[in-house]
Chain A
Amino acid sequence: MSIRLDDVPGQNLTPGSTKQDVVLNSHPVMVVPNTKEFLSFFEAYEAGGLKRVAHLAAHPRVAKIGLEAQQHPTCHLDIPYWSTTPYLFGPGRAVKYVTRPCSTRTSTMPPELTDHYLRDALPVHLAQDDACFDFMIQFQVDSHRMPIEDASVEWKEEESPYRPVARIRIPRQRIDDDVRVKACEEIAFNPWYCLAEHRPLGNMNRARKIIYETVSQFRRESRQ
């Protein structure tokens, strides 16, 4: 789940931007701690076959997190999301972002889990009811057990509770018309669209700044 707040005043880390993006995942941690391990994982994944198996055998923690992250939720609106990577919260403080669903309605699991059942469930929910999430932050309170540079380590809620900051209300709406779908495909979220006070922290986020910009440009050029 990604969130974009438009027209946010203040010093933005992307010159000319007034966006505040929040990029979240459906699992509390990344499968790898940093960009170096991510590259190694992707190379093995892309190679497939025995190389993929060998990589997972040699990196059991990656395999464990990957398996734990597999899930079949009833709907994108029914599950929590985590930033997995930290962000500045003013000088000297770091937080991770968490959203937790608070809708009164939850979807039911379809009899058959097709490749597109989640995409189907979203417009069905929003055609009938509002949706709701609590937006929360979690402060870093220990630099060892809650590291900045290792995105594969969960910041435990028992150690630092999630603190509700805002309520996200998604009113009932149609989302599957052609114009909306096309616009949706063209949106590119980037955690570096943000205020300086909320600067992305850690190896993964630093890498995202360069990789997102470069690869996005590469994709644009491929369409010309």
Chain B
Amino acid sequence: MPTVNTHGLAEESVAPNENEVISHFIAFIEKASVARNPQGPILRFNQARTAGCVEGEFTVRDDFPTDDRSASLPRHTRFARSSGLRARRTTRPIATRTYTACRYAWTTSPVRI
């Protein structure tokens, strides 16, 4: 069932035994990984099939909705700022910036139900 909560927006709720569960998770992955790869190097547990990597451009739009230009947005624009990259000059508060050094990768999970 979906978790019911009474928290505010963007608020997290940490379960008391969370770290214990995570430790068990790690122990399980390590044990299962060794069992899968007894002779050779350990491969990624659940994302072993990489389809490919590409390079591209990530350009922040200059028409980002006005109602989202809150206090957080100027910081968010740093999400797309990068040294040595092309950036179009603009007088708008939200600069359009282009990454030329971003990378994208696809993997196919082998887990099937």
Number of residue pairs A-B, CB distance < 8 angstroms = 247
A43 within 8 A of B: yes
Among A165, A184, A211, contact of B26 (Cβ-Cβ < 8 Å): A211
Contact yes or no, A197 B76, CB < 8 A: yes
**Which residues on the B side are within 8 Å of A9 (C-beta)?**
78, 81-83
Assuming the contacts A92-B10, A147-B2, A198-B79, asked whether A223 and B41 have C-beta atoms less than 8 A apart, the reply is yes
**Which residues on the A side are within 8 Å of B58 (C-beta)?**
3, 5, 135, 166-168
Q: In the complex, which range does the number of interface residues on chain A fall in? A: 35 or more
> Bound state CA distance, A163 and B70, in angstroms?
14
Q: Which residue of A is nearest B17, CB measured? A: A36
Restricting to B22-80, which residues have a CB under 8 Å from any CB of A? 22, 24-26, 28-30, 32-33, 37, 41-45, 49-61, 64-65, 68, 70-73, 75-76, 78-80
Contact yes or no, A7 B82, CB < 8 A: yes
Interface size on B, residues (CB 8 A): 74
Contact yes or no, B10 A148, CB < 8 A: yes
Q: Contacts A89-B10, A126-B54 given; 20 further ones with Cβ under 8 A?
A: A1-B104, A2-B105, A6-B103, A34-B3, A35-B22, A70-B113, A90-B76, A93-B10, A94-B9, A122-B52, A148-B13, A149-B3, A153-B2, A164-B61, A168-B58, A173-B54, A184-B105, A197-B78, A203-B15, A222-B41
Residues of A within 8 A of B (CB): 1-10, 20, 31, 33-36, 38-39, 42-43, 45-46, 56, 61-63, 66-67, 70, 76, 86, 88-94, 118-119, 122-123, 126, 131, 135, 140-141, 143-144, 147-150, 152-153, 163-171, 173, 175-176, 180-181, 183-185, 187, 189, 195, 197-198, 201-203, 206-207, 210-211, 214-215, 218-219, 222-223
